[in-house]
Amino acid sequence: MEVWNTTIVTHFIILGFPSLQKLQLLLFFVGLIIYLMTLSGHIVIITIVRLDLRLHTPMYFFLSNFSFLEIWYTSNIVPKMLQVFLATDRSISYAGCLAQLYFLITLGTAECFILAIMAYDRYLAICNPLRYPILMNNRVCVRLAICSWVGAFVVNVPPLVSLCKLPFCGPNEINHFFCDAPPLLKLSCRDPRKAETVNFIVATSVIVSSFLLIVVSYVLIIVTILQIPSAPGRQKAFSTCGSHLAVVTIFFGTLMFMYVRPTSSYSKDSVNFNKLVSMFYTVVTPMLNPIIYCLRNKEVKEALRKALMGRCVLLPKAGNIPNRGW
């Protein structure tokens, strides 16, 4: 009978970037600035979506959900990373490491689902404009958001269980700046191929299925847009998708590189490069997403301009909120 957990390791040591020891203080301040910018950017998006009545549509409802996820996604990684840069305490408990990994993959999965839902929303808005208010009403939006959250937590239980069954008896040094699955599996005292397979299947299923839904949605969107006779009409339709496409390209590009491949393919020589890619999708990308939406989306820019000028439209009293799709 298999023992649930026979580990004798009580904590792990996160090495961070050992080759950059002389730059640790600089990395800390750069990371802190990026983290504060990330939090500020996503809080701004959530706030203006909440305050500006014109943004009370399904697209911006899901955007505010995505921003909320991004806040927790980056907060799960960056504070501990900054602590490692200061070299005050590089250790993390066994339970804390598993929790960080579980929330990383869960929040990442929820983001994949939300981005796929946003693509589906754009498909309905452009390809079925007359039925759109019925197909994407308040109740549907809330249910889709809840399903993306609950589904993300449920689908990642098997990888967590398979990891918990592995014994860890030393060494306990994780050659990364957070508890990620590939470097953690390498520390197991038992052959981790079963856990690697489970991780690979779940990650591939989530990422590929979400990406395929996005691709199919945009293929149908492009076909519909090309049938619009006027150039201004086509440009307006494309403009509603530009920000989302940019975020999808960056987000899924890095995720596919990191997780849609067997863990055994990670070589010792590629560790530093994997860290760089991980730094991009866990730290840099969450900072870029609010900038992309603010710079490329006219409605968000206008709402932000009005908010900065102190003329943002305030929410009406409870009970008088108009039905604007969510």
pLDDT in tens, 7-29: 577 889 998 888 777 888 898 99
In this predicted structure, the answer to whether residue 323 has a pLDDT above a threshold of 60 is no
Q: Is the confidence at residue 165, as pLDDT, over 70? A: yes
Tell me the fold of 11-308: Rhopdopsin 7-helix transmembrane proteins (1.20.1070)
Query: Given the structure tokens 């840069």, which residue do they identify?
Result: 85
Q: DSSP string of 67-85?
A: HHHHHHHHHTTHHHHHHHH
Mean pLDDT of 131-142: 91
Question: What type of residue is 263?
Answer: T
d(CA 25, CA 11) in angstroms, rounded, equals 25
How high is the pLDDT of residue 65?
94
Helix (H) or strand (E) holding 308: helix 298-308
Adjacent-strand bridge partners of 92: 12
Torsion of CA 134, 136, 138, 143, to 10 degrees: 130
Per DSSP (E only), the strands in 145-211 are 173-174
The pTM of the full predicted model, rounded to 2 decimals, is 0.86
DSSP assignment letter at 228: -
Question: What's the pLDDT score for residue 78?
Answer: 94
Q: What is the mean pLDDT of the chain?
A: 84
Residue 75: how many other CB atoms lie within 10 Å: 16
Instruction: Report the amino acid identity of residue 236.
Output: K
